[in-house]
Amino acid sequence: MIHSGGVDSRVWRYMVPELAQSFKIITFDGRGTGRSPVMQEPTSLVEDLRKLLEHLGLDRVTLVGHSMGGQVATDFTLSYPSMVDQLVVIAPSLTGFVYSQEFTNYMTSVNAAAPDISKLVELSLAGPIYRATMAGPHGSFLSEMHAQYMARVFTEWRCFEVLWPEPPAIERLEKIAASTLFIQGTIEWPDMYNIAEHFKHVPAIQFAEIQGADHMLVLTHAKPLANCIQHFILGKRDNVVDPRSE
């Protein structure tokens, strides 16, 4: 399970107990987050994942990636297809996708607050894709993780460059052989729907949408999300189409 940017592996704390009833689950802190070492030089997160799986002696896995973690999972699947049995992407970003001016303006306004950590966190989590999470009981936990992430980035990181495989994944999605599940909430940037359109090029793909969930559905809708993933992995396809009844 590959977490998104801005947080660490603790973001899976509500999903892991659900999925661990049926599967062996591995979570980890991506480079520069949680308890992992900081970014010191240009880094490939895809190669980080490969080295982790080799260290653990795992030849073939199901990948579950959220947001930028979904981007890592997608690129890894294209780079090392023999190592991926099934692919689950949750509100993923996508290598090579050109984001809208609305999203770009939002990111510019957030980054302009650097290095003021509290302001960075405030502006970032004020984004419309976090409104359901921040209005609920998980808001303080997300703020805590986000603040710790920002503090590490601006006080410890020595490099900010992430290396991605070429050509970009957006140009090669039809080459993904793994059975794939794309999940998103209904409170998202329009960009996410455009990314979903691109993922329709994946030959064996299913889509699921969770009503009332925003970008952090891994926190707010952990149980229905875990159930959706479980049904997909176990091949219960009728239950994948619409998890809203969970």
pLDDT band at 242 (very low <50, low <70, confident <90, very high): very low
pLDDT band at 236 (very low <50, low <70, confident <90, very high): low
pLDDT band at 159 (very low <50, low <70, confident <90, very high): very high
CA dist 63 and 77 (Å) reads 9
Please answer whether residues 33 and 8 qualify as being in contact, where contact means their C-beta atoms are separated by less than 8 angstroms.
yes
Instruction: Please determine, for residue 219, whether its predicted confidence score (pLDDT) is greater than 90.
Output: yes
Q: Average pLDDT, stretch 148-170?
A: 94
Condensed to tens digits (0 to 9), the pLDDT of residues 165-210 reads 999 999 999 999 999 999 999 999 999 999 999 999 999 999 999 9
Pairing outcome for strands 61-66 and 43-44: unpaired
CA dist 64 and 183 (Å) reads 11
pLDDT band at 243 (very low <50, low <70, confident <90, very high): very low
Please answer whether residues 191 and 103 qualify as being in contact, where contact means their C-beta atoms are separated by less than 8 angstroms.
yes
Secondary structure class of 86 (helix, strand, coil): strand
Residues in the chain: 246
CA dist 147 and 150 (Å) reads 5
How many C-beta atoms surround the C-beta of residue 90 within 10 A?
30
Please answer whether residues 208 and 183 qualify as being in contact, where contact means their C-beta atoms are separated by less than 8 angstroms.
yes
pLDDT at 18: 96
pLDDT at 224: 96
CA dist 53 and 140 (Å) reads 32
Condensed to tens digits (0 to 9), the pLDDT of residues 73-115 reads 999 999 999 999 999 999 999 999 999 999 999 999 999 998 8
Condensed to tens digits (0 to 9), the pLDDT of residues 104-127 reads 999 999 999 988 999 999 999 999
Instruction: Please determine, for residue 144, whether its predicted confidence score (pLDDT) is greater than 50.
Output: yes
pLDDT at 214: 98
Condensed to tens digits (0 to 9), the pLDDT of residues 36-66 reads 998 899 999 999 999 999 999 999 999 999 9
> What tokens appear for 213 in the block?
């969930």
pLDDT band at 22 (very low <50, low <70, confident <90, very high): very high
Nearest to 132 by CA among 120, 122, 142, 145: 142
CA dist 233 and 67 (Å) reads 20
Q: What are the start-end ranges of the H helices in the chain?
A: 16-19, 45-56, 68-79, 101-111, 117-125, 131-134, 139-155, 190-199, 217-220, 222-233
CA dist 120 and 116 (Å) reads 6
